[in-house]
Structure formats: C-alpha cells, structure tokens
C-alpha cells in the first residue's frame, strides 16, 4: 500500500505544480485553486495518455509524468500574463453573520469531512458498476505500459462504449499500476476532497461570504453524492468535479485582467471523456458561458472591433472544448467496441409506445428526488429557481436551469432506452442526479448575492 | 470569461457585491446546524459494529451487489492457487444463477484467468469432487464458507 500511496502523493504534487500555471498564473492560490490545478492537469494528462496509447506509444511512469507536466509547462513558457495579479481573486469577506457564523460553519464543514473520511475508511468498495464497468477497465487497460482495449470484448455485461477518461485518470495517478480496491478508496477520497475545496472557493468568490462557502461545502459533504458509498469507484464524483472546476475557471477568467478562455474550455471539453451525459452537460455549460458575450455581439454592428474581439474570445473558449468533445465522440464511435447503446433499436417508436407511461415515469422521478437522503435539496432548489426567474438573475438562473435541464434529460432518457423505464430509473436516476448537487449549490449561492 | 468581457465593468478587479442579506445569513446558520447534527448522528451510526449503511444506494443495492463478503480475499485465495493464464471453471453454490456476479468479479480480480464455465456446487458430492477432464481448465471449488479448492486433471 505504501508504494501506490507514494506514487499518488508524488503525482498529485506534480499535477498541482503543472496545473497552477494554467489555473492561477503568478498569484497566490486558494485551496480551491490547488484542487482545480490538480484536476485540470490530470484531465489533460488522461487525454494525452489515451491519445499516445492509441498511437501505440509506451505509457511508462516517466512518460505519464511528462504528459502530466507538458500542458502546464507550455502555458508557463508561452504565457505572457501580467507580472502581478490579485492575490487570489477572493473578494473581501462580507459582514453577514459575523465571526460566530464563520466559526460555526467551519466546525460543520470539519465535522462533515471527518464523518466522510470515517465512512470511506469503514465501508467496503461494493458498487456493482465499479466492478463491472469503471474499476475493471482501470485494472486491465494498461499492460506493461501498452494500452490494450481488446479485453473489453471479453468482459461480461459491461458497458464497452463508456468513456475511458476516468480509468485513465486513475492510472495517471498510480503511474500506470493497476489500482487495488484500497487504492480506489484513496482516489475516491481525493476526488471528494478536491470537489469540496473547489466548490468552497467557487461559492466564496461568487458571494464573498466565507460562511456561505463553508456551509455549501459542508452540505455537499453530507449530500448523497459524497455520502452514499455507492459512488465509490464510479464516475459521478469526477463528473461533478470537472463541471465545478469549469465554473470556477470561467468565473476566474471573468475577473482576471488577462483573459484565457481556453483554460476553462479544456475543463469543459473533458466532461464527455468522463461519462456520456457529460456531453450534454458540457454543451449546456458552454452555452451558459457564452451568455455574457451576447450583449457585445448585439452591439457589434456599431463597434466592429468589439464584435471581432467577442467572436475571437468565443472561439478561444469553444475551440478547445468542442475539439475535446469531438475527440471523445470519435474514440467512442471509432475505437471502442460497440456496446449495448441505451438507444438501441427503434428508440423513437419505443418512446411513442411508452407515452402512456409518462405520468408514472414523472411520478417515479419525483419520488426519487423527494427522498429524505437529499435533506430537502431539490425542494429548496425548486423554490429558489422560481425566485431567480422572478428576479431575472441571469447567471444564477442559467446555472439552476442547467441543473433542471440535465434532470429532465435523465428523466426523458428512461422513455426511450431499451431498458424497462421504471427499472432504469430505479437503477441510476438517484445516483446520476447526485452529481448535479454542486452545480445546484453554486447556483443557489449566486442567488444570495448579485452584482451592484 | 472572454475577451468580450473586457468591455464589461469590473474585469481585473473584484466585483462589488451586495452583502449577503439576512435570509442568506439565516440559511448559512440553518445549513451549518443541519450538517452538524446529521454528521454527528451518522458518525455515531458508522462507529457501531457493524456500521449501519443507510444511504439510498446502500439500502437499495448493497446486498445485491456485495452478496459474497470480502470478494477481494476470496479471489486472492483463488488466484494464489492458479497457474499463470490458466482458464478456470468455477464450481460454487448457485454459481449458474449468479453467473453475472462470478464473471464480473473474476474479470476484475483475475483478469488473466478466463472463465470457461460455471457450475453449481452439489453439497451432497463434496466428499467425492468432480474429476476435471484431461487438458481442460482447472476447476475452482468454492464452498459456502468461502473455502477454495482447485482441482486439475491428473497428468
């Protein structure tokens, strides 16, 4: 266990150093920046490693470390950012609630994280999808440094066409060594802590309230996404992490004196490498990121230069994101063995035939979202969505709308897939909705404050 | 977010934000208190023997997915008795009914040992185990207590 742990610590340290030039160039990073740097560097390395592996190159530990360092090193060398930026983009702390509230929320966060770590330690790795889909790929896809995907054809009842980004990210962290169940638990804990840190920083920057940031992070730690041990060794926590990192980086880019929209573009583009639903989520987040540019585009006729700059900026954001998304789709369609696609057969006819079941499907979704495990999250989100719509709070409304659209996509998927719809919902709806909790929390936090 | 945002007020400087209102402050108090209570109650529950696992996925799927406790140790015992790359037939109670479980776990823990077949273990014949055919795969007999015995054809 010591060997793998040492590797994970080494790779994590390198990933943070390699990611910082991308995430927080030349400024003192907050904890969330360190977590975002770690996340972004690992995602980039996973994409490069998969590409190199498919080209037949050997993925030795040294090669994996080089792939981890390469994007950050290139950014550090080529970057021409200002010498000094704001210390860490954190706005000054607000006065609401005062020190007692900050202390209370810090204690709540500490207790929630302590409970989470106790749970990760005491609970076995048991999730079926880990053994049948995600874990088995991480344990078999690298042999002596060579990427081999032929084993996918011999797996029993797996999802052969699911993306390989998460298994490859785990392998980057272990420098190519097949992780044991104990190592998978360590990796899950790392992803969970990174997600909590990123959300805390994102809420802190959106609201300037450390108490709200602590409270949101603490709630995330007790939410089903992190508390339910079913998520251990699966891809929901990574999906939530990359989505939240994208939002943190998009917001940071808005504040930075020198815009580098391709950095959040890289994080957004990695979403379909994690899970298939990451494609829809990535496109929705990309569309929301373009919203602030619309007013400039409308006035582009009046100011030719402003319009050109906006189009350039949009291209610098969308270019890397869409290229990565296309890459994920290309690997799924051209490289991976065809799996039993959820939309197998005449899905349109199936959807029409199931229309009479639509009410039952909605009722089942609603009942799953009203389970006490959520601690009232979806009820509060629904109420605050109405408030945001009434107040027309742009970005907050866009964010909570993305959450609801994604829920609707999961809901409608049950209508069309080859699986029995209610059984399909029972199997996964609760779990995949849990990955949207951090986005919903950030949207709610944005509602609490709005720019003057 | 974009170069276009340079035209917006505030690029490069922290935006001026309204202070959180009393509702947001109350919400932060409420969420902190809720999380504190939930965490303490759950930790107490977790530290019991055995720990109570009551989250939604755990209530719904744990028994189904984790039907044989400690699969890692079980498959380590099996793997330690196998020759490199050797194909196997798994003989265990209700193995045919639980084909998905045995095949998925074997792919995960013993990726180099293809499963040739699965067979139900007949408790009545435990004293007279089956005789594997010559040249065929090794037979891995797993008892309900988790004991493992590997049989090969006499060579």
Give yes or no: residues B96 and B132 share one domain: yes
| Mean pLDDT over each residue of chain A, to the nearest integer | 89
Torsional sign, CA A294, A300, A306, A310: positive
What's residue B10's pLDDT?
Answer: 46
What's residue B7's pLDDT?
Answer: 36
What's residue B1's pLDDT?
Answer: 36
| B3 inside domain | yes
Give yes or no: residues B15 and B47 share one domain: yes
Q: Does B105 touch chain A (CB under 8 A)?
A: yes
β partners of residue A147:
A142
Burial A377-405 (b: 16+ CB within 10 A, else e): bbebbeebbeebeeeebebbbbbbbbbbe
Give yes or no: residues B76 and B133 share one domain: yes
What's residue A356's pLDDT?
Answer: 87
* pLDDT tens digit sequence for B102-147: 999 999 999 889 898 898 887 655 556 666 777 788 999 998 888 8
| B32 inside domain | yes
Token pair 């969308």 is at which residue? A318
**B-chain residue closest to A308, CA distance:** B4
B35 token code pair: 């999380």
| B144 inside domain | yes
What's residue A340's pLDDT?
Answer: 65
Tell whether omega for the bond before B50 is within 30 degrees of 0, i.e. cis: yes
Out of A29-43, A380-394, B46-60, the most confident range is: A29-43
Predicted structure pTM score: 0.91
| B84 inside domain | yes
Give yes or no: residues B77 and B141 share one domain: yes
Mean per-residue pLDDT for B91-104? 88
Give yes or no: residues B76 and B132 share one domain: yes
* pLDDT tens digit sequence for A272-286: 999 999 999 999 999
Give yes or no: residues B86 and B141 share one domain: yes
Q: Do B19 and A127 touch (CB under 8 A)?
A: no
| B61 inside domain | no
The answer to whether residue A389 scores a pLDDT higher than 80 is yes
* pLDDT tens digit sequence for A146-185: 999 988 887 776 678 899 999 999 999 999 999 999 999 9
Give yes or no: residues B83 and B27 share one domain: no
* pLDDT tens digit sequence for A407-438: 999 999 888 888 888 998 999 999 999 999 99
Among the partner residues A101, A108, A181, nearest to B25 by beta-carbon distance: A101
* pLDDT tens digit sequence for B36-84: 999 999 999 998 878 889 999 999 999 888 888 788 999 999 999 999 9
Query: Rounded to whole angstroms, what are the CA distances from A8 to A44, A109, A139, B110?
Result: 17, 25, 16, 24
β partners of residue B149:
B141
**B-chain residue closest to A101, CA distance:** B29
* pLDDT tens digit sequence for A433-443: 999 999 999 99
| B7 inside domain | yes
Mutate to test the interface with B, among A102, A178, A222 (most CBs of B within 10 A): A222
Give CA–CA dist B115/A273, Å, rounded. Answer: 31
B positions 43-102 inside 8 Å of A (CB): 43, 46-47, 51, 53, 55-58, 60-62, 64-66, 69-72, 99-100
Give yes or no: residues B17 and B47 share one domain: yes
| B59 inside domain | no
Give CA–CA dist B138/B152, Å, rounded. Answer: 5
* pLDDT tens digit sequence for A294-352: 776 666 555 556 677 788 888 999 999 999 999 999 999 898 887 766 767 777 888 88
The answer to whether residue B16 scores a pLDDT higher than 80 is no
8 Å CB contact between B118 and B96: yes
Q: Does B122 touch chain A (CB under 8 A)?
A: no
Number of domains in chain B: 2
Give yes or no: residues B86 and B126 share one domain: yes
Shortest distance, CA B52 to any CA of chain A (angstroms): 10
The answer to whether residue A103 scores a pLDDT higher than 50 is yes
Q: What is the ipTM of this complex?
A: 0.88
Shortest distance, CA B78 to any CA of chain A (angstroms): 16
| B65 inside domain | no
Sequence ranges of the domains in chain A: 1-74+100-266, 340-452
Other C-beta atoms closer than 10 Å to the C-beta of A446 total 25
Q: Which domain holds residue B85?
A: 71-151
**Which of these ranges, A133-137, A245-249, B9-13, B55-59, has the smallest mean pLDDT?**
B9-13
**B-chain residue closest to A140, CA distance:** B111
> How many Å is the Cα radius of gyration of chain A?
22
DSSP B17: B
More confident residue, B9 or A388: A388
Shortest distance, CA B22 to any CA of chain A (angstroms): 7
């Amino acid at each position: 266990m010591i060997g793998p742990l040492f590797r994970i610590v080494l790779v994590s340290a390198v990933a943070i150093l390699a990611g910082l030039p991308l995430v927080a160039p030349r400024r003192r990073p907050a904890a969330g920046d360190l977590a975002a740097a770690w996340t972004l560097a690992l995602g980039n390395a996973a994409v490069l490693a998969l590409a190199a592996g498919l080209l037949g190159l050997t993925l030795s530990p040294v090669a994996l470390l080089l792939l981890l360092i390469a994007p950050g090193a290139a950014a550090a060398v080529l970057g021409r950012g200002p010498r000094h930026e704001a210390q860490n983009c954190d706005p000054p702390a607000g006065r609401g609630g005062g020190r007692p509230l900050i202390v209370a929320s810090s204690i709540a966060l500490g207790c929630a994280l302590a409970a989470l770590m106790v749970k990760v330690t005491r609970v076995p790795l048991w999730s079926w999808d880990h053994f049948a889909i995600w874990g088995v790929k991480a344990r078999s896809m690298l042999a002596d440094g060579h990427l081999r995907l032929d084993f996918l054809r011999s797996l029993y009842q797996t999802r052969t066409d699911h993306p390989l980004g998460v298994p490859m990210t785990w392998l980057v962290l272990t420098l190519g060594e097949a992780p044991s169940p104990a190592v998978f638990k360590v990796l899950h804990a790392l992803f969970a802590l990174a997600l909590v840190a990123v959300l805390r920083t994102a809420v802190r920057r959106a609201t300037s309230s450390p108490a709200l940031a602590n409270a949101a992070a603490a709630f995330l730690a007790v939410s089903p996404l992190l508390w339910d041990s079913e998520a251990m060794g699966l891809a929901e926590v990574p999906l939530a992490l990359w989505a939240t990192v994208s939002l943190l980086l998009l917001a940071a880019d808005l504040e930075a004196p020198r815009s580098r929209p391709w950095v959040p573009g890289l994080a957004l583009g990695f979403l379909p490498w994690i899970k298939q639903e990451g494609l829809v989520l990535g496109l929705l987040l990309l569309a929301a990121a373009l919203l602030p540019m619309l007013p400039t585009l409308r006035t582009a006729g009046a100011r030719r230069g402003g319009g050109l700059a906006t189009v350039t900026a949009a291209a610098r954001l969308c270019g890397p994101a869409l290229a990565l998304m296309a890459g994920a789709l290309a690997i799924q369609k051209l490289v991976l063995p065809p799996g039993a696609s959820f939309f197998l057969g005449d899905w349109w006819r199936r959807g029409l035939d199931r229309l009479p079941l639509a009410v039952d499907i909605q009722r089942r979704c609603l009942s799953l979202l009203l389970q006490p495990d959520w601690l009232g999250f979806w009820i509060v989100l629904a109420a605050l969505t109405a408030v945001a719509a009434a107040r027309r709070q742009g970005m907050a409304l866009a964010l909570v709308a993305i959450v609801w659209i994604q829920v609707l996509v999961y809901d409608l998927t049950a209508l069309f897939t080859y699986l029995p719809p209610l059984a399909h919902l029972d199997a996964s709806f609760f779990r995949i909705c849990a990955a949207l909790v951090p986005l919903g929390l950030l949207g709610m936090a944005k509602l609490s404050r709005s720019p003057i | 977010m974009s170069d276009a945002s340079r035209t917006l007020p505030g690029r490069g400087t922290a935006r001026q934000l309204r202070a959180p209102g009393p509702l947001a402050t109350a919400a932060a108090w409420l969420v902190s208190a809720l999380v504190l209570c939930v965490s303490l109650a759950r930790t107490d529950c977790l530290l019991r023997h055995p720990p109570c696992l009551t989250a939604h996925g755990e209530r719904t799927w744990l028994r189904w997915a984790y039907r044989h406790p400690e699969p890692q140790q079980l498959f380590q015992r099996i793997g330690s008795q196998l020759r490199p790359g050797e194909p196997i037939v798994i003989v265990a109670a209700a193995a045919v009914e639980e084909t998905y479980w045995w095949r998925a776990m074997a792919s995960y823990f013993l990726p180099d040992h293809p499963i040739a077949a699965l067979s139900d273990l007949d408790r009545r014949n435990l004293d007279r185990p089956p005789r594997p055919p010559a040249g065929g795969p090794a037979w891995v007999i797993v008892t309900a207590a988790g004991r493992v015995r590997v049989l090969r054809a006499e060579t």
